């Protein structure tokens, strides 16, 4: 069986999280051949894989979202008319015209082609609020369409199944495979791509229109435009998918609300290989201090600053000499944010307490951690929580994604919450609440031990990699076997 797997901004160029999940999935299915299409912003500098190439990876292709593909053959003369029909259809929530879209559009024509100019002015008159800057409209149209059409001109990959690991550009490219080649399409979402992009758009200072929005006390039309585009890509992805997978029930409900159908939507939770953590669990010991750690990338979405502030509160309560704190994960993905974190550590006089370890195998650190911490602003079903639980370490986590379900259990689990809590759930961006939870646990060794046992039992029962492997192999086979059966209604 041959699967074309499409990953945006993750595998094989980003370690941890979705990248690690993807690598583990491929490694666990040696009977399946994979072609990996990695979507990456630009070829400057050229990205370097962070994972070894597995034997069952037939090919790794990289398509650059902000770097155009090779020169395309001229599109049909009516390409801009087709694009206008597509825009109006998307505005109404219809995804069917996607199959008829000519993706070979040349954005260089926008300033010179009369048909392109007519399209832009028509859409501006139809959708832009009165008084909207036309230069800003033109710039935003180009900025939103350039990456989309770069992706859509990527060479297609004939396969038995196309599997995208998000909506967005990856989902759009997978939908093109479905529309053009009839390839059965599977979508897996770890977080919710559209919600994550919405936060980034809200914080962005490069999108025009903010001054006008503030002056009129209204929403920013151009930020709304970016959000609407990603919601449209989400509808396209769900509409063309033969199966849509989420990691937990709350996200499944969202997917159904946004256009997937109940019969095509299912939950397959993350899983880990327990044997990799058995020796860690047996070798767990005290470091001689209270040791708390956050395993994750030093990037804003992980909110490392809240962890640093929480450690300051704990250090003030226990005394700096009693606390050891570690941030275990890459520090080179956002150099400015990492520099700000280092400055916080210096300003709060935590140099001898808190260490930014960098990228390394976290298992030696798990051997001495008393508590594992996540202060993330967004998560799906974080692997670090499962790893910590497999090692018998209690978890303190913000209430994001599936974290509450991992820590407290799923409703109905063993007739209720019978396995017991595996840690404490805290509020977002709340150093005091994180510090409170840490102080509760470090002061009660029996409670930590019981939570550690509960977490281990929960992983053993519900979150094993062999369960994930079987679920995806069965799903690939079912989709491949049904290739010549009826297509989903949205793609018909």
The string of DSSP codes covering 415-460 is GTTTT---EEEE-TT-HHHHHHHHHHHHT-HHHHHHHHHHHHHHHH
**Domain count for the chain:** 2
Residue % of the chain over a pLDDT of 90: 74
Residues 344 and 434 in one domain: yes
CA-CA distances (angstroms) from residue 330 to 5, 293, 365?
25, 14, 15
Q: How far apart are the first and last CA of the chain?
A: 25
Confidence of residue 474 (pLDDT cuts 50, 70, 90): very high
How many residues in the chain? 492
Instruction: Inform me whether the pLDDT recorded for 374 exceeds 60.
Output: yes
Inside any domain, residue 298: yes
Instruction: Inform me whether the pLDDT recorded for 108 exceeds 80.
Output: no
Mean pLDDT within 102-122: 79
Residue 487's pLDDT is what? Answer: 42
Mean pLDDT within 198-203: 89
> Per-residue pLDDT tens for 204-249?
999 999 888 887 778 899 999 999 999 999 999 999 999 999 999 8
Inside any domain, residue 405: yes
Under 8 Å between Cβ of 94 and 236:
no
Inside any domain, residue 211: yes
Instruction: Inform me whether the pLDDT recorded for 179 exceeds 50.
Output: yes
Q: Which residues contact 1 (CB under 8 A, 6 or more apart)?
A: 31, 32, 33, 160, 161, 476, 477, 480
Instruction: Inform me whether the pLDDT recorded for 460 exceeds 80.
Output: yes
Residue 412's pLDDT is what? Answer: 66
Residues 261 and 305 in one domain: no
Backbone phi and psi for residue 215, each to the nearest 5 degrees, phi listed first: -65, -40
Residues 435 and 324 in one domain: yes
Mean pLDDT within 418-431: 94
Residues 397 and 438 in one domain: yes
Among the listed residues 241, 126, 115, 222, the one whose alpha carbon sits nearest the alpha carbon of residue 179: 241
Residue 234: which domain range? 2-271+473-491
Inside any domain, residue 190: yes
Sheet strands (E) in 247-386:
265-267, 290-295, 323-328, 354-358, 371-374
Inside any domain, residue 393: yes
Structure tokens at 350: 């935590």
Instruction: Inform me whether the pLDDT recorded for 45 exceeds 60.
Output: yes
Number of H helices, E strands in the chain: 18, 13
Residues 114 and 203 in one domain: yes
Residues 164 and 25 in one domain: yes
Residue 486's pLDDT is what? Answer: 43
> Per-residue pLDDT tens for 316-361?
999 999 999 999 999 999 999 999 999 999 999 999 999 999 999 9
> Per-residue pLDDT tens for 129-151?
998 999 999 999 989 988 888 88
Mean pLDDT within 377-392: 94
Under 8 Å between Cβ of 313 and 290:
no
Confidence of residue 99 (pLDDT cuts 50, 70, 90): low
Residues 231 and 368 in one domain: no
Mean pLDDT within 376-384: 91
Confidence of residue 71 (pLDDT cuts 50, 70, 90): low
> Per-residue pLDDT tens for 268-322?
999 999 999 999 999 999 999 999 999 999 999 999 999 999 999 999 999 999 9
The CATH number covering residue 396 comes to 3.40.50.2000
Confidence of residue 88 (pLDDT cuts 50, 70, 90): confident
Query: What's the mean per-residue pLDDT of the chain?
Result: 91
Residues 295 and 172 in one domain: no
Among the listed residues 362, 476, 378, the one whose alpha carbon sits nearest the alpha carbon of residue 16: 362
Inside any domain, residue 64: yes
Residue % of the chain over a pLDDT of 70: 92
Helix %, strand %, coil % of the chain (to 5): 50, 15, 35
Instruction: Inform me whether the pLDDT recorded for 73 exceeds 80.
Output: no
Inside any domain, residue 468: no
Nearest-angstrom CA–CA distance, 74 and 105: 8
Instruction: Inform me whether the pLDDT recorded for 492 exceeds 80.
Output: no
Backbone phi and psi for residue 163, each to the nearest 5 degrees, phi listed first: -125, 110
Inside any domain, residue 144: yes
Residues 60 and 133 in one domain: yes
Residue with the bigger pLDDT between 69 and 80: it is: 80
Instruction: Inform me whether the pLDDT recorded for 68 exceeds 90.
Output: no
Residues 237 and 287 in one domain: no
Instruction: Inform me whether the pLDDT recorded for 72 exceeds 80.
Output: no
Residues 439 and 487 in one domain: no
Residues 432 and 413 in one domain: yes
């Amino acid at each position: 069986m041959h699967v074309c797997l499409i990953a945006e901004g993750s595998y094989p160029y980003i370690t941890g999280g979705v990248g690690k999940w993807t690598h583990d999935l491929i490694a666990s299915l040696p009977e399946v051949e994979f072609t990996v299409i990695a979507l990456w912003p630009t070829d400057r500098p050229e990205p370097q894989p962070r994972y070894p190439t597995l034997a069952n990876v037939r090919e790794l292709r990289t398509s650059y979202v902000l770097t155009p593909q090779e020169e395309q053959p001229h599109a049909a003369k009516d390409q801009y008319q087709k694009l206008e029909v597509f825009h109006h259809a998307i505005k109404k929530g219809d995804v069917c015209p996607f199959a008829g879209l000519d993706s070979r559009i040349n954005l260089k024509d926008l300033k010179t082609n009369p048909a392109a100019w007519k399209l832009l002015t028509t859409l501006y008159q139809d959708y832009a609020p009165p008084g909207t800057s036309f230069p800003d409209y033109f710039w935003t149209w180009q900025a939103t369409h350039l990456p989309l059409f770069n992706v859509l001109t990527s060479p297609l990959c004939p396969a038995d199944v196309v599997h995208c690991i998000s909506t967005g550009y990856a989902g759009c490219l997978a939908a093109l495979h479905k529309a053009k080649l009839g390839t059965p399409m599977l979508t897996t979402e770890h977080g919710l791509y559209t919600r994550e992009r919405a936060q980034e758009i809200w914080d962005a200072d490069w999108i025009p229109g903010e001054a006008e929005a503030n002056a009129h006390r209204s929403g920013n039309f151009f930020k709304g435009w970016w959000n609407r585009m990603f919601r449209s890509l989400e509808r396209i992805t769900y509409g063309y998918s033969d199966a849509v997978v989420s990691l937990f029930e709350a996200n499944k409900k969202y997917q159904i609300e946004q256009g997937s159908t109940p019969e095509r939507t299912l939950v397959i939770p993350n899983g880990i290989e327990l044997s990799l953590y058995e020796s860690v669990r047996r070798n767990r010991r005290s470091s001689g201090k209270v040791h708390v750690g956050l395993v994750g990338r030093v990037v804003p979405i992980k909110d490392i600053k809240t962890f640093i502030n929480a450690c300051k509160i704990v250090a003030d309560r226990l005394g700096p000499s009693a606390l050891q704190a570690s941030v275990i994960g890459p520090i080179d993905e956002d150099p400015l944010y990492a520099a700000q974190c280092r400055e916080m550590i210096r300003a709060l006089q935590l140099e001898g307490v808190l260490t930014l370890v960098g990228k390394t195998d976290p298992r030696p650190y798990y051997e001495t951690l008393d508590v594992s911490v996540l202060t993330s602003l967004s998560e799906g079903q974080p692997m670090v929580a499962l790893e910590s639980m497999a090692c018998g370490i209690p978890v303190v986590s913000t209430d994001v994604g599936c974290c509450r379900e991992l820590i407290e259990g799923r409703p109905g689990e063993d007739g209720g919450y019978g396995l017991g809590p595996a840690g404490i759930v805290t509020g977002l961006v709340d150093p005091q609440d994180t510090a409170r939870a840490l102080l509760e646990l470090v002061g009660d060794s029996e409670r930590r031990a019981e939570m550690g046992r509960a977490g281990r039992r929960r992983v053993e029962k519900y979150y094993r990699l062999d369960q994930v492997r079987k679920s995806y192999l069965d799903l690939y086979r079912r989709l491949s076997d049904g290739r010549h059966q009826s297509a989903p209604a949205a793609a018909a």
